[in-house]
Structure 1
């Protein structure tokens, strides 16, 4: 369990950003280059059910629990990535 928590500490904002870009590109069936990290998730058509799945998948990848509303509190890839990396460092 400790190794998973330690692993979570090493995830950078850039790595989270890349994961989210890839995730959204797959979900929307577009090229990653078409994803703008400053565009809101809502603009990409994410509704609450998709946001819940995304949050769960992201939490699994990070190895830690996330509040379901995190996607709405940090509504862009850039802001969410930065928030999550700051949280990881602060743990």
Structure 2
């Protein structure tokens, strides 16, 4: 499955999941293998500052713009991936 909406380049589901795990690990100061995609990111110590940084990274890497509260509504990597793949995305690059 991939995102191909609103002119965004195609994004592979597994690549997106791996990328999110890697970024979450970076902000939590953990190894990628220590991040479970079904565990709330807040349990790894990610706070609002790191959530905003992660959202900015996601926009920079994929052109996907997330609302400030998105990572609280979808608190795990897998929930974020599912939301991104099922929701039309808007890009400021359009």
TM bucket, shorter chain? 0.7 to 0.9
Which residues of structure 2 form unaligned runs of 5+? 1-5, 90-94
More helix, by proportion: 1
State yes or no: 1:78 paired with 2:78. Answer: yes
Equivalent residues of 2:28, 2:46 under 8 A apart: no
Equivalent residues of 1:12, 1:85 under 8 A apart: no
Equivalent residues of 1:5, 1:64 under 8 A apart: no
More strand, by proportion: 2
Residues in 2 aligned to 1:6 and 1:30: alpha-carbon distance in whole angstroms: 30
Residues in 2 aligned to 1:48 and 1:29: alpha-carbon distance in whole angstroms: 16
Residues in 2 aligned to 1:24 and 1:6: alpha-carbon distance in whole angstroms: 23
Give the match's secondary structure for 2:11. Answer: coil
Of 74-83 and 17-26, more deviation after overlay is shown by 17-26
Give me the TM-score of the superposition, normalised by structure 2. 0.77
Residues in 2 aligned to 1:18 and 1:88: alpha-carbon distance in whole angstroms: 21
State yes or no: 1:33 paired with 2:11. Answer: no
Asked which structure has the greater RCO (Cα within 8 Å, sep 6+), the reply is 1
